[in-house]
Structure 1
């Protein structure tokens, strides 16, 4: 049995549930369309900094923020288009803006669809007409994020990169084991290239590893302290995976991106949508307690 409930907490929160499986997600449209909670068998899988979440002046640390129209940051936070300079802060603006709920359903699964449409505010930093449509689908131990990116312009191509920034709860990061399908990664702090042995030094103040050349479409994490395996699979448009965590915080992030940082300036892996066209992507998360 599937259910959808709406509660007025600090923000309006939609809870989608699979009651037979004791799984659920919380979705907060006005805070960037974010998923703030994902439970399987009544066990929370996501980290959320509640104090930052409650403060609308701060970016959220936790849940699954949406990254658009860039991932990471631009050089000097700027890019040029048609001889004009534009400023976009790290990870873009989609995670900070209110999204609109346009549909929900409990037929065969619990699902909710949200949209974000360009406006005067977005066009001051990103001069394109767009429509983003995200559908969150919950069934059993799986969460699917279906995405459609549409260029509403009749004349201009639209460049962008996009991604997700999941924060996974990890009470003991030393008990994590990873399978990341890439031979090498770049240490973002030092700019150095390393062979991928899927091991990270959690004694560092920050670990920021970017895997630019993925050789597969799924990543798996084993949390031995919880007896938990999470598999994240993604469309082939996602060319980059970023692992990020900070010292003494009980989370890690595995982020599928379509392009690495500064892509609007380098043109590397940028997605271009022709006028009036759209594209679809999907990310699927599955959790199993073993």
Structure 2
């Protein structure tokens, strides 16, 4: 386990999956979900090379069929430490014999965590290590305790989004996306949390590339988080239903689950990203803790 620390926060990151596992304030408040398997056994997995689920857990590419389970394989692989300082770490995953049976591309996936004052920056870098085109999706899945510091319950929390406006929601017909049936979510005012919001899986917002901040806060104390995105086209908000789980995930996504009418071909996949030979894709987000 890797430790990052400053005068305000102590952060733990697991080399397995490059997964953020803890953010603890000086007063002892733990912000990150602690992976109780009763509800959800993960903290904040990295989603690569797909986000969400493939139809029948498979896809075809250049005449071959490949099997891959939900959210891809990065979360279940050991990353290597490239650089570790007191307040930062960079972790690296490259293709291996097992990944090539699921995903026929050579790649370098870097995840960098950098702590500065009350903020944790998370940066992703995906590099195509071959001279052939590479197709991929990428996402983050951080879970946050609700409540943070033991006061109040799930229904005492709310999410506020800036800019304040109505956002297009891409509905899920679980577990697939349905971008042909767009809906609206009104974020001109805070969204009060309740478990029934997630009876059709995650709330997926189409950000259209706009810089966006989602704040998770409550009516009982001053603790909260603000997650800011500059370049993510989508963000998901999720808590497992019908479980009465004491956490919420705010998930920056550069990709989506297969659509309900997907043909299974990777090159036709909705919201897929393409890198030409030796190109690099950079993305990320920041979380402020208060």
Residues of 1 paired with 2:205 and 2:100: CA distance?
A: 31
Provide the residue aligned with 1:34 in structure 2: 19
Provide the residue aligned with 1:254 in structure 2: 250
Correspondences of 1:14-163 after superposition (within 5 Å): 14-18=2-6, 20-21=7-8, 23-30=9-16, 32-41=17-26, 42-50=28-36, 61-106=41-86, 110-154=87-131, 156-163=132-139
Checking the alignment, whether the CA contact within 8 Å between 1:212 and 1:260 is kept in structure 2 is no
Residues of 2 paired with 1:213 and 1:102: CA distance?
A: 32
Residue 265 and residue 158 in structure 1: after superposition, are their counterparts in 2 closer, same or farther (change >3 A)?
closer
The partner residue of 2:140 within 164, 176, 189 is 164
Q: Give the alignment's TM-score, normalised by structure 2.
A: 0.82
1:74-120 residue CA offsets vs partner (Å, 9 max, x unmatched): 111111110111111100000001111121113xxx11111001011
| Partner SS for 1:121 | helix
Checking the alignment, whether the CA contact within 8 Å between 1:185 and 1:194 is kept in structure 2 is yes
Residues of 1 paired with 2:77 and 2:281: CA distance?
A: 22
Checking the alignment, whether the CA contact within 8 Å between 2:81 and 2:92 is kept in structure 1 is yes
Correspondences of 1:274-289 after superposition (within 5 Å): 274-288=276-290
Checking the alignment, whether the CA contact within 8 Å between 1:130 and 1:152 is kept in structure 2 is yes
1:262 deviation in Å?
1.8
1:189 deviation in Å?
4.4
Residues of 2 paired with 1:158 and 1:203: CA distance?
A: 39
Q: Name the count of aligned residue pairs.
A: 262
| Partner SS for 2:34 | coil
Provide the residue aligned with 2:233 in structure 1: 239
Unaligned runs of 5+ in 2: 148-152, 260-265
Residue 278 and residue 265 in structure 1: after superposition, are their counterparts in 2 closer, same or farther (change >3 A)?
closer
1:196 deviation in Å?
0.9
Provide the residue aligned with 2:160 in structure 1: 179
Checking the alignment, whether the CA contact within 8 Å between 2:61 and 2:267 is kept in structure 1 is no
1:49 deviation in Å?
2.0
Residues of 2 paired with 1:233 and 1:204: CA distance?
A: 22
Residue 62 and residue 141 in structure 1: after superposition, are their counterparts in 2 closer, same or farther (change >3 A)?
farther
Residue 186 and residue 205 in structure 1: after superposition, are their counterparts in 2 closer, same or farther (change >3 A)?
closer
Checking the alignment, whether the CA contact within 8 Å between 1:46 and 1:62 is kept in structure 2 is no
Unaligned runs of 5+ in 1: 1-12, 53-59
Considering Cα pairs closer than 8 Å and 6+ residues apart, tell me whether 1 or 2 has the greater RCO. Answer: 2
| Partner SS for 2:202 | strand
What is the RMSD of the two structures over their aligned residues, measured on CA atoms? 2.3
